[in-house]
Copies of this chain bind each other. A is one copy, B any other.
Amino acid sequence: MITKYLALPGPTEVNPEIMLEISKPIFNHRNVIFKDLLERVTEKTQKLLNTKNEVYFLTASGTGAMECAIVNTLSKNDKILALINGSFGQRFADIAKQYGADVIEFHGEWGKGFELDKIKKIIDELGDNLKGITVVHCETSTGVLNDIEAISKLRCSDKTLLLVDGISSIGAVKVEVDKWNIDVILTGSQKVLALPPGLAIIAFSSKAIKAYEESDMPKYYWDIGKYRKFYIENRETPYTPAIPLFVGLLKQLEVLEEKGFDQEIKKHEKIANMVRYAIRAIGLELLNDDDIAANTVTPIKVPDGIDLKQLRKILLEKYSVDVAGGQGKLEGKIFRIGHLGNVEPLFIISILAALEMALKELGFEFEVGRGVKAAQEFWINNLK
């Protein structure tokens, strides 16, 4: 049984047109076809990220790219500030600690944006001693979109690097790598880019590359120096790349570019709003305020008297709809509807309709159809 409706914050559905590309015969990653492909996906990814920074591709999940960001730019005992308001912010901190960085954890409330004035104070106190800041753009575990541009501006020293996990934001939300002075940013193939999982993307600023030269953390597979050398000299990757995902990525970037990268961001905005209006109309409570809510995933509080396991089971077994549960502190307290990548309004209508029916079955009191109607109305009013 394959789930028909994948309403997760990743992995996301792959467009059949893209899957056809991915299914083409394997070829040699040391030959001219791949070199050309690698150069083209690099250029297009730079456009997507609004950057001239160097872009590299790893055969890995997003967590691998987080580790790659840490071990290439930091050294043991480097003081870094880890901004944490969810489980992925914590992950960034944990990786840095594992490699011996001196990590100052700043904990924000889960589901809320950061209090920037408090962060500013810490940064100012540390001054030149602060080597880096780690932060997650879209904190998938809580649905919060952190304000990277504002956080970037808090730095008071040229020495402080900004390392950003853009796994669930890139492509769905404006990301201005150069304008925002992001030193390292990374994402995975299975999120907004809507490819199968298995490929991670990471971009390094010239400041980050300089930090690499001084970094003493051990690394081999993640050693970006090898990726640079192989790319510059031969347009190759140092180790066997996930070839089919490169073919799919080029096609997907072409499709997105043709639609317009900004149009995709607007699409995600509209769809997120449809979901939020609908959830409120049903009478459920959102975890986030709208001003900090990400357009890629919507966390919803589990209402009193509803058994989340039952709800997810009915959704999956009766309607073939897979929504995500909560993570970490929020496990059992929220469920999350992912709406990123290839999602379209009618897909969302289907998810909402199934959610309403499952809630009804579990005895939640509301007027069936209200959520769907709210989504339709938002859509009608916002058709261009």
Contact = CB atoms under 8 A, between A and B. Distances in A.
Interface of A: 1-3, 6, 8, 10-14, 19-20, 22-31, 33, 59-64, 67, 94-95, 98-100, 188, 190, 196-199, 217-221, 238-245, 316, 322, 324
Given A13-B26, A33-B1, A61 B239 contact: yes
A242 B221 CA distance: 18
Contact of A60 (B2, B3, B25, B221): B221
A239 B11 contact: no
A8 B23 contact: no
Given A60-B59, A60-B60, A241-B61, A190 B13 contact: no
Q: How many copies does the complex hold?
A: 2
Nearest to A70: B220
Contacts of A197: 26, 29, 59, 240-243
A104 B17 CA distance: 52
Rank and list the top 8 A-B pairs by shortest CB-CB distance, nearest first: A198-B242, A61-B239, A63-B239, A198-B198, A197-B240, A95-B220, A64-B221, A61-B240
22 contacts: A2-B24, A3-B25, A3-B28, A3-B33, A6-B25, A6-B27, A8-B28, A11-B26, A14-B25, A27-B322, A29-B197, A31-B322, A60-B60, A60-B64, A61-B241, A63-B220, A64-B64, A64-B239, A67-B221, A95-B220, A197-B242, A217-B218
A234 to B, nearest CB: 12
B59 A98 contact: no
Given A99-B218, A245-B198, A29 B3 contact: no
A22 B19 CA distance: 9
A241 B8 CA distance: 15
Contacts of A19: 23
A169 to B, nearest CB: 16
A23 B23 contact: yes
Nearest to A8: B28
B60 A190 contact: no
Contacts of A188: 240
Given A26-B11, A26-B190, A240-B190, A218 B62 contact: no
Contact of A28 (B6, B98, B100, B245): B6
